[in-house]
Structures are given as structure tokens and as C-alpha cells.
Structure 1
């Protein structure tokens, strides 16, 4: 009987994830560390989402996109970390083909959304610094909703293309994935079919989004730098640099590892796992910290929000 189209006549229906550690003692330590980090990711990003929603002073485009970034980071980490934690406690570390494809889809959906969302946030900063008097009218709620829709729609298309091409691969040999989650490159190296054309599509698909996002980021910050150089007020310069510093830090933390992993052929390097840990776990942890530490308004709003909740409980 012919198998489902999804598995593409492959002989492999289950994969084994080799994970992060081979030694039981190290596995326990990594499990505890990763569990703490995941809890902090959930609490930190959820706190920003809730605070932006309830605090009226944060009801502007800048914080609207910040809350969306926190939501995406929360989802992004949830795609991989719970499975990693479960594998630390499991003896098999197995994952079915369909579950692997599902994880890959949501991984690229949230990664693509974050990539485009960070680009949108750079445009938002450009408008805020270069056209401060028109900022509220340009970045109104309707525009924000449309820009968010573009983020999700584009990343969905990107992810669907990745899945369609992955499902064209045939797996008939080893089923051990030398990684701690399902991704394009670790799966491609296991394929027994010719991956040359598919690999080109993978790189082109990721590369197109990366190049377009980079060009928009570049143009936005060129405009910002040009405006900053014309600003003679020290207070204005300080505010502009402060506004952009957090965003540039987050962009560097996310784009650097992502470009290293996805804009190259399916060749495995020893550092791939560590780089993947950085952009799937560490970046979602650092983003809320970076934005709250460098933004007095966000810190003040969080303190106010938590203070109100504590008062409500006491009453």
C-alpha cells in the first residue's frame, strides 16, 4: 500500500535526536540549567506582553511591536525547549517524521516572523527619529496591524516552502539526527536522494528574506544616522542612541547566528549545536532583559503594573 504523501516513500518513519550531551551527569546539569532558563524566558516575555497590554503609557507602535517580539520569542523557545527537556529524561530521544516536520514548520514560522518583525521595528525607529512630529499619524494602529500581518504572512510562506522541499527528501539510511531538534541541515545530510536543487531552494528561500530584511535595516539606520548627525542637541543625540541601542543589540544577537546556520550549504560543523542553542534559547532569554534594562519607560511601567497587582492582592 502506498504511504502518505507527507513521508514521500521514505523507509524512515522515526528519527533519533542525539541531543546536547552524551554523559548522564552532564545531562542532569544541562536539564536543570535549561529548565531554569525556559522558566525565565516564559516569565520575562510574558511579563512584557501583559505589561504593554495593560499599561496605557505603552500603547504606542514601538511597544506594540516589542510585545509582539516577546510573544514570538516565547513561542520560538517553546517549539524546541520542551522537547529538549523531555529528551534529557528519555532513553530513546525519538521523534516521528510527522512530529519532526511539524517542529521544523513552527521553528521557521517563528524565526521568520522574528526576522521580519525586527526589520519592522527598525522602520518604526526610523519614523520616530526622522519624523517625530508625524510619528503618531504614520505609525497608527491600522498600519501596525498591517505590518504585523505582513510579518506572519511572509514567514508562513517561507515556512511552507521549507516544508514542501523537506518532504521531497527520501530517507532510507541512518535515522540519527546529530542535533537537539529537527532542522533543515541536520535532516538534509541524512537524505539518500539528491539534495542539490533542494539545497539551493533552502538557501535561496532563507537568503531572500535575510537580504530583504538587511536592506530595510540598512536603509532605516542610514536615515537614522543621517538625522542624528544633523541633531546638535546632546539630549536629542542621547535619546536617539538610547532608542536604537537595544534594537541593534537584539538584531545582532539574532541575525548573526541565523546567517551562520542557514545561509550556507548543508555542512555540519562542531559549533553548530552551540550556535543553535544561542539563537533558540539564549536570544529569547536576553531580549526582554535588554529592552527592560535600557528602557526606563518599560522598567517604570513594569514596576507600576506589578505594584498594582500586589495592591489588588492585599485588598
Structure 2
């Protein structure tokens, strides 16, 4: 217990097996982080300054906001120590990093489910779409997604940082996450590990299963559309969302349900999930949507 009171920081060792590549990684991740912020800011500006005010674009605007916040939990600190700064992170800073990472991650996962429900209503019940997806309903769904993330992140953080850490404060990872922090505990961490797997991995599976159920109904409805143009339009609005969902849920399931954690595999998957996927989302949605391409051209013409 004395060691617990003396422990006031952790040392982030960075991405496993990348010693000597710090400068290269700094340049790559700085480029990705910059374009993540730029791309999603532009995406939000397009939605705000155009006629794209349907429920789908309301949810996409929030998704872009999350895609700026989510990498901002881990990327600035990582860029700092890759550029030669201190790899130390305070005990409270480590707890805050873990809390906000899981708060934003779970909330974004819920938002993907909400967006799948929105596409289900739009394609399976098109005549009642605006009646069902009223502005009040859309706002309530986003609030519920936030409220779902709060207890999730609170439980994980409180269980993790109630443990005694005395053997080492060196986190063999690039940010404070459960698989990297829990092995450092001197006390029994089996409960925290079980809650970690159930509360993260299995919840991701449940959300993914729910999304798949929605898309089975959507697929059946698309096949019933007689015109090829109508099928193509319906498919184009869903394919971008499905691609983003696979990029979001896949890494989470791989990391938190593996029996024997592989630090290098975990780091690569987390980088794809934390840093690369938020940059790609705005590209995925904009490049596959004709309405947004037209809105983007209007924004550039107005700036010119």
C-alpha cells in the first residue's frame, strides 16, 4: 500500500518492437492526425453549411466529432514522446486516458448501431421515415449513446485503478489501456480482466450482432426493389456505413477477446482503430455519396 501512495506516474514504452523508428513514426502519425482533424472538420462544415440536414447526416456529423475526439485521447501524448519528449504520464493522467478512451469508444460503437437503425427505417419503412426519425428522437438516441458510455468507462476505470501497482510502472504500450496496465498490478486482477473481456469484447459482439440483424432486414428490402437504380442507391448509402462498422468493431473484438495478448498485434490493430479509421471515415462517406460530393463542390465554389 505504501508503494501505491508513492506511485504517481507510469512510463509509456511506446509501440512494441519499433525502437529506432521514432522519427519516422512521428512524421507518419502527425500526418494522419492532422488529416483526421482536417477531414472531419471539413465534413462537419459541409453538413452544417448545406442542405444535408436529414437524420442520416445529423448522425454523421456526430460521428465526425467523435472521430476528432477519439484519436485526441492518445495521439498528442504519443506524438510528444515520439518527438523526444518525456514518456511519463501521471497516475491520474493514465486513469483519465483510459476513461475517455472507453467512454468515446463505446459511445461511438452505440452511434454505429443507431446509424444502422436509421438506415433500416429509411429503407424498410421509407414512407414513415421522417415520422419515426423525428428530430427529438435523433437527439434522444445520441444522448442515450453518451449515457451508455459513461457507466461502461466508469466501471472499467474504477476496477483498474483500485488495484495496487507496485512491481513496475512501465507500460509496454503507446497509451494506457486495460491489456497493458492490468498485468502491472501486484494484487489479483482476475475480476478486472473478466470485466474487461465481458464489458468490452462481448458488448462489441452484441452491438455488431444487432447491426448485422438490421442489415439482414435491409438486404432483404434492397433485393425487393425492382429498379436497378433504386437498388444501387440504397446499397451505396449502406455500403459506406458497413465498411466503417467493420473498421470499428473488428479491431475491438480481436484485441479484447484474444486469450494470449500479443503486444505487437494489439498495437497494430489499435493504431488502425484509434488513428487510421477516424481519418478514413470521412473519406469513406464522402467518396461514396453523390449528395455530399455536390455539397463539397458548392463549399469550394463559395470559398473561391
TM-score normalised by length of structure 1: 0.91
Aligned to 2:9: 14
| Alignment of 1:214 onto 2:216 | no
Aligned to 2:107: 113
Contact 1:10 1:171 in 2 (8 A): no
> CA offset at residue 212 of structure 1?
3.1
Equivalent pairs, count = 302
Correspondent of 1:305 among 294, 299, 303: 299
Superposition CA RMSD, Å: 1.7
Q: 1:121 and 1:250, CA in 2 relative to 1: closer, same or farther beyond 3 A? A: same
Per the alignment, in what secondary structure is the counterpart of residue 95 of structure 1? strand
CA deviation profile, 1:144-166 (whole Å, cap 9, x unmatched): 00000011110111111111111
Aligned to 1:49: 44
Correspondent of 2:33 among 38, 41, 52: 38
Matches within 5 A, 1:60-209: 60-90=54-84, 92-209=86-203
> CA offset at residue 210 of structure 1?
1.6
Structure 1 residues without counterparts, runs of 5 or longer: 311-315
Per the alignment, in what secondary structure is the counterpart of residue 189 of structure 1? helix
> CA offset at residue 10 of structure 1?
5.3
Q: 1:202 and 1:232, CA in 2 relative to 1: closer, same or farther beyond 3 A? A: same
> CA offset at residue 130 of structure 1?
0.6
> CA offset at residue 238 of structure 1?
0.7
Contact 2:205 2:253 in 1 (8 A): no
Per the alignment, in what secondary structure is the counterpart of residue 270 of structure 1? helix
Q: Which deviates more, 66-75 or 204-213?
A: 204-213
CA deviation profile, 1:200-240 (whole Å, cap 9, x unmatched): 11111114532331232122111101111222211111111
Per the alignment, in what secondary structure is the counterpart of residue 4 of structure 2? coil
Q: Which deviates more, 225-234 or 135-144?
A: 225-234
Contact 1:45 1:288 in 2 (8 A): yes
Q: Which deviates more, 92-101 or 258-267?
A: 258-267
Per the alignment, in what secondary structure is the counterpart of residue 115 of structure 2? helix
Structure 2 residues without counterparts, runs of 5 or longer: none
Q: 1:30 and 1:9, CA in 2 relative to 1: closer, same or farther beyond 3 A? A: closer
Per the alignment, in what secondary structure is the counterpart of residue 10 of structure 2? strand
* Aligned equivalents of 1:287, 1:96: Cα separation in 2: 32
CA deviation profile, 1:226-262 (whole Å, cap 9, x unmatched): 1112222111111111111100100111111111112
Contact 1:18 1:93 in 2 (8 A): yes
Per the alignment, in what secondary structure is the counterpart of residue 84 of structure 1? helix
Correspondent of 2:221 among 216, 224, 227: 227
> CA offset at residue 269 of structure 1?
3.8
